[in-house]
Amino acid sequence: MKRYINILMIILLGAGLLAACNKQLEEYNPSGLTVDQVFSTPEGFETLVNAAYSYNRWWYGKEEGWNIAEMGTDLWTSGTGDKYPDLTQYINLQASNSVMGVMWRQLYSAINLCNTGLARVGNAGLTEDRRAIREAELRFLRAFYYWHVVETWGGVHFTVTETAGVETVANRTPVDTFYAQIFRDLDIAVANLPKTTGDYGRVTRPAAMAFLARMCLTRGQNEKAAALADSVINNYGFSLQDKYSDLWRMDNLQNKEIVWAVNYMKNLVFNDRLDATLYPNGHSRGANNGHLMFTMKYDDLIGMQRDIANGRPFNRYMPTLYLLDLFNEKADARFDASFKSVWFCNNLATARRGMKLGDTAIICTKYVVTNADTAGKPYRVYDRNISYLPDEGGSDRTHYISLKKFDDPTRGGRDEEQSARDAYVIRLAELYLIAAEAQINLGNKGKAAEYITRLRKRATIPGHEAEMAVTDANMTIDFILEERARELAGEQLRWFDLKRTGKLGSQISAHNPDAAKNFQSYHTVRPIPQDQIDAVTNKGEFTQNPNYQ
């Protein structure tokens, strides 16, 4: 199968890029096959559908996706290793940002591949049942990719027809047109996808319903959002894991809480880093690289050295104090399941006198610790006043409480950059939150509280039930955003959540002083890549988003 996907991508190389450059390319097709020949057979058409899925790997589990979807919000600020402070802190964010260029090209390539398949699915020799399913998958994926496009850049280029070569004319299409097509595609997907699949990673009917619920919530269709979410919760055999920490175990990735995931192969050879055709230049270290992004630099401290269990620390991102303070860790098990606060000695060569292997070497805490508290203690403490400034901005951006959801202790070596961890795109917990938000918008606070109570019950540390209880009076959009942060932090949703609720600017201003210094209202859409602006011939019609250069 891999050989046929490579041939397919050679044939289509450049077709999905909206005039990304002016250079004339001559491509050699060693197979001698044409697009018509490949897609006119069931086997060939399967390679197209598989390739359409593969573009999710450019966003989910990748640094670029986290930069767009989580950074520049109220939850995260820059660690010392942050490569894109223009996204994290809005420092001179402009069209030259390389993340924007990568994602624009890949999303439009994915959309073009979906358009190509949808135009040809009727002539691929598939059985009627298989044809309906594959069309539904491609429609779902097109809707999914277009959602990323329209929320990131606003009303930019839109087409539902196949691009056969380089195009130099782009259009500006209203956001409403994007969403009208997204809803049309998802309605067809819901009607024709199977309830389950034996091929993990393929989209199913409940996954399409869940994403449609997200879209309905985004567009203010609250009754439909609530009904769809409730149906996924109750009718398709999904269930919350008994413990929140169970979600992140490497031996439990394919569990009943996962509605849809981007799956990565345990054999890293088959992941994207080594696929020179699909992912040139070893894109973003291959596979899932979340384990690199959020880990503080522990291996420069006394008693510590880099190892597999503690991970390879790129220290790209650190949590804001706002995120840490949202948790009552004595009552809410999600804090300890999400964050790492203690590191244990694994290097006697640099350990302090009297320290043994396995003793506490480092503690990071969101509380203030006095000299009296640490007197005579062999370990190093990074407290609130060391890691953060008085205004709650970052101070020591190298040492801090670290998100551990994406850690992978099964990697083959301490310097391994790839992880076989699947990237969760939709899990059942989000459906509870969607249903609750929709019910709040409808004025049904009691019903909203029921959904949140069911979700928080899983997170409650025994004996602290009263502290985790909620009432109808708690049910506000602000509370839902807080609960989404506690439940979904780091899961590539936060920027979209704040934009959907109209809270991006106010939350940054209130809770992320690093980003608040530079954030402007126009940042609710991102800059169109400069090479795209340069390449189009209708520059009068296809212009840059306002205030970007």
Indicate if 22 and 165 belong to the same structural domain.
yes
Pairing assessment for the beta strands 342-344 and 317-319 based on DSSP bridges = unpaired
Q: Is the dihedral of CA 208, 1, 284, 317 positive or negative?
A: positive
Task: List, for residues 262-320, the tens digit of each pLDDT value.
Answer: 999 877 766 656 555 555 554 556 789 999 999 999 999 999 999 999 999 999 999 99
Task: List, for residues 131-171, the tens digit of each pLDDT value.
Answer: 999 999 999 999 999 999 999 999 999 999 998 778 899 99
Range of the domain at 539: 1-172+527-549
Residue 212 lies in a domain: no
Residue 490 has pLDDT above 60, yes or no: yes
Residue 441 lies in a domain: no
Per the listing, tokens 């600020």 go with 77
Q: Annotate 463-488 with b (16+ C-beta within 10 A) or e (fewer).
A: eeeeebebeeebbeeebbbbbbbbbb
- From 403, 431, 465, give the residue that closes a domain: 403
Residue 178 lies in a domain: no
Residues 182-206: what's their mean pLDDT? 97
Residue 489: what pLDDT? 98
Task: List, for residues 260-276, the tens digit of each pLDDT value.
Answer: 999 998 777 666 565 55
Residue 12 has pLDDT above 70, yes or no: no
Residue 121 lies in a domain: yes
Indicate if 15 and 143 belong to the same structural domain.
yes
Residue 128 has pLDDT above 80, yes or no: yes
What CATH number did the domain enclosing 4 receive? 1.25.40
Residue 443 lies in a domain: no
Number of domains in the chain: 2
End-to-end CA distance of the chain: 43
Residue 268: what pLDDT? 73
Indicate if 161 and 298 belong to the same structural domain.
no
Residue 166: what pLDDT? 81
Indicate if 299 and 158 belong to the same structural domain.
no
Residue 7 has pLDDT above 50, yes or no: no
- From 403, 438, 464, give the residue that closes a domain: 403
Report d(CA 474, CA 268) in Å as an integer: 46
Instruction: Give pairs for 366-375: CB < 8 Å, separation 24+.
Output: 366/321, 366/324, 366/325, 366/401
Residue 23: what pLDDT? 31
Q: Are 177 and 158 in contact (CB under 8 A)?
A: yes
Residues 390-403: what's their mean pLDDT? 96
Query: Residue 403's closest CA among 478, 344, 327, 480?
Result: 327
Report d(CA 45, CA 40) in Å as an integer: 7
Helix 98-120 with 128-153: angle, nearest 10 deg: 150
- The pLDDT confidence band at residue 549, using thresholds 50, 70 and 90, is confident
Residue 15: what pLDDT? 41
Cα–chain center distance at 202: 18
Task: List, for residues 24-54, the tens digit of each pLDDT value.
Answer: 333 334 455 677 778 889 999 999 999 999 9
Residue 3: what pLDDT? 34
Residue 42 lies in a domain: yes
Residue 27: what pLDDT? 36
Report d(CA 302, CA 380) in Å as an integer: 8
Residue 36: what pLDDT? 78
Model pTM greater than 0.85?
yes
Residue 195 lies in a domain: no
- From 350, 385, 403, give the residue that closes a domain: 403
Residue 25: what pLDDT? 30
Percent of the residues in the chain that have a pLDDT greater than 90, as a whole number: 87
Residues 64-74: what's their mean pLDDT? 97
- The H or E element containing residue 374 is helix 371-374
Pairing assessment for the beta strands 423-427 and 258-262 based on DSSP bridges = antiparallel
Task: Supply the DSSP string of 288-352, one letter for each residue.
Answer: B-HHHHS----TTSTT----TTT------EEE-HHHHHT--TTTBTHHHHHEE-EEE---GGGPP
Task: List, for residues 320-342, the tens digit of each pLDDT value.
Answer: 999 999 999 999 999 999 999 99
Residue 281: what pLDDT? 53
Residue 494 lies in a domain: no
**Side-chain-side CA neighbours of residue 522 (13 Å):** 12
